[in-house]
């Protein structure tokens, strides 16, 4: 059976002391849950976060990494470096990486390969832009993103892949996909995987929804049969809000 997951993407927020404060609050507020709970602080705070959560079920994950394992790539961080500070999961393909840093499907496919080669788990983000939806091209765009970045993988590789569908128009905007829109797309994603591989694999993949998930809408979104959890941005910066979302799973 696929896992339920709630992951907090802190983006470029929280310095060292603010990270320590938020982690202390998260530890206090962490409920009993069947879900895997993850946080993704910025690179500078990964090691401290990992150390302070070593006795906690909360997993610390990275927001990005470079596709090379080492070399002359000023300012970048590699998979082996992440592993060396205890990080075993990385978010790849976030729409902000695609929009502001020019990351495309080909580059993301290389990053996925490097992560898997280094025994890391990947939370792979994708989703259509508002223009795509207006033109009724959202299914085509999403199928293309999956095919281009992931469908070269072998069936066994998929045990290290978590998907995060994030319609770009819903990220940080306060506008959420309706539970029906989320379910429709998640079912389409599962069918696309079943067609490319098989139903058993499609049924085993956790597909998270991301985009303005808040304590007041999480339960309805998570109740959809093909939604296995959430990737949470803004609401993950407050321990009570984040844990209210965890409780909604
Ligand atoms: P949001 O961000 O919850 O602030 O919309 C989601 C994300 O970017 O992963």
Query: What is the edge-to-edge ordering of all strands in the sheet holding 229-232?
Result: 59-60, 36-40, 5-9, 229-232, 207-210, 161-165, 121-126, 89-92
Q: How far is CA 8 from the centre of its chain?
A: 8
Q: Strand (E) positions, 41-133?
A: 59-60, 89-92, 121-126
Looking at residue 31, its pLDDT comes to 96
Give residue 173's pLDDT: 85
Rounded CA-CA distance 36/8 in Å is 11
- Kindly list the protein residues whose Cβ atom lies closer than 6 A to any atom of ligand 1: 9, 166, 171-172, 210-213, 231-235
Contacts of residue 72, defined as CB under 8 A and 6 or more positions apart, other chains included, come to none
- Cα-to-centroid distance, 233 and ligand 1 (Å): 3
Question: Given this model, what pLDDT does residue 78 score?
Answer: 98
Please give the pLDDT value at position 210.
Answer: 97
pLDDT value at residue 227? 98
- Note the pLDDT of residue 172: 83
> Any bridge partners for residue 90, and if so which?
62, 122
Active site residue 51: no
Give distance in angstroms: CA of 245 to centre of ligand 1: 13
Question: How many C-beta neighbours within 10 Å does residue 71 have?
Answer: 8
Residue nearest to atom 2 of ligand 1 (CA): 233
Ligand 1 centroid–CA 37 distance in Å is: 16
Active site residue 166: yes
Integer Cα distance of 116 and 100 in angstroms: 25
Average pLDDT per run of 10 along the chain, which is 249 residues long?
A: 94 98 97 97 98 97 98 98 98 98 98 98 97 95 98 98 96 88 98 98 98 96 98 98 98
């Amino acid at each position: 059976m696929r896992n339920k997951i709630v992951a907090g993407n802190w983006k470029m927020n929280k310095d060292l002391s603010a990270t320590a404060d938020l982690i202390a609050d998260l530890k206090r507020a962490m409920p009993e849950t069947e879900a895997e709970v993850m946080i993704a602080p910025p690179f500078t705070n990964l090691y401290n976060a990992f150390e302070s959560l070593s006795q906690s079920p909360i997993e610390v994950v990275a927001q990005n990494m470079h596709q090379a394992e080492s070399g002359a790539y000023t300012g970048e961080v590699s998979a082996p470096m992440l592993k060396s500070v205890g990080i075993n999961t990385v978010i790849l393909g976030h729409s902000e990486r695609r929009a502001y840093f020019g990351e495309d499907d080909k580059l993301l496919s290389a990053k996925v390969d490097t992560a898997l080669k280094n025994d890391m788990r990947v939370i792979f983000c994708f989703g259509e832009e508002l223009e795509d939806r207006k033109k009724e091209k959202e299914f085509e765009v999403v199928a293309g993103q999956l095919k281009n970045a992931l469908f070269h993988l072998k069936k066994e590789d998929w045990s290290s892949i978590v998907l995060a569908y994030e319609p770009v128009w819903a990220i940080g905007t306060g506008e959420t996909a309706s539970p029906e829109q989320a379910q429709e797309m998640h079912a389409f994603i599962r069918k696309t995987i079943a067609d490319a591989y098989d139903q058993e694999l499609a049924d085993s993949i956790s597909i998270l929804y991301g985009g303005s998930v808040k304590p007041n809408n999480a339960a309805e979104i998570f109740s959809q049969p093909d939604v296995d959890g959430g990737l949470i941005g803004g609401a993950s910066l407050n321990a009570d809000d984040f844990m209210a979302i965890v409780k909604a799973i």
